[in-house]
Chains A and B, each alone.
Chain A
Amino acid sequence: AQSVTQLGSHVSVSEGALVLLRCNYSSSVPPYLFWYVQYPNQGLQLLLKYTSAATLVKGINGFEAEFKKSETSFHLTKPSAHMSDAAEYFCAVRDRAAGNKLTFGGGTRVLVKP
């Protein structure tokens, strides 16, 4: 069965500092991997996705993530945090054999300090 672990349920960063959100997955087959962001009282918005085309994936709003098969990781980074990055971030995995079912990590809430 697939699973996703996000280290740290809360992360606090200063504006302008590096944002690093950790995600480790387990999957029996090469997965599709995703990062979503959720702002208060809203649904999920796709930040970026890994589809095996390239291990370094660039997404929206300056975010990027690197797929490391040997570490079963897909960590999300942004070089310089902005106040608007305050939100909850979810890593998700989709097993190619399981249709559209997404398995989500527990989420990491990001607080950006001025």
Chain B
Amino acid sequence: KAGVTQTPRYLIKTRGQQVTLSCSPISGHRSVSWYQQTPGQGLQFLFEYFSETQRNKGNFPGRFSGRQFSNSRSEMNVSTLELGDSALYLCASSLASAGGMANEQFFGPGTRLTVL
């Protein structure tokens, strides 16, 4: 079974631009969560989508948004990029949204975003 895939793996943007990152979950998984990893703030939860609905949201500004498609693939978008948005963005998928360990999360390799 293929794992979680994220594209692109590396991205360089300049301040003020916007970016879209993509995540394809493990086949059959309906929940996709996104995390931001930086040296200063560590791993922080961005949001979770389940069956095309945002189920949970972390403490990030509205410039960070996401969506999920009917095939469970997810995208996250960051608008008006700032230098501080440089980070590794990790996507994780799981079978369910809540309840029991059926929702063990499997992580993709991440997209490394550099904002210049």
Contacts and interface: CB of A to CB of B under 8 A. Distances in A.
Interface of A: 32, 36, 41-46, 49, 51, 90, 92, 96, 98-107
B101 A99 contact: no
B110 A102 contact: no
30 contacts: A32-B101, A36-B107, A42-B109, A43-B90, A43-B107, A43-B108, A43-B109, A43-B110, A44-B90, A44-B92, A45-B107, A46-B105, A46-B106, A98-B56, A99-B48, A99-B56, A99-B97, A99-B98, A100-B31, A100-B55, A100-B94, A101-B33, A101-B48, A101-B58, A102-B105, A103-B45, A104-B35, A104-B42, A104-B44, A105-B42
A90 B92 CA distance: 15
Interface size class of B (residues with CB under 8 A): 20 to 34
B103 interface: yes
A100 B103 contact: yes
B77 to A, nearest CB: 20
Contacts of A98: 56
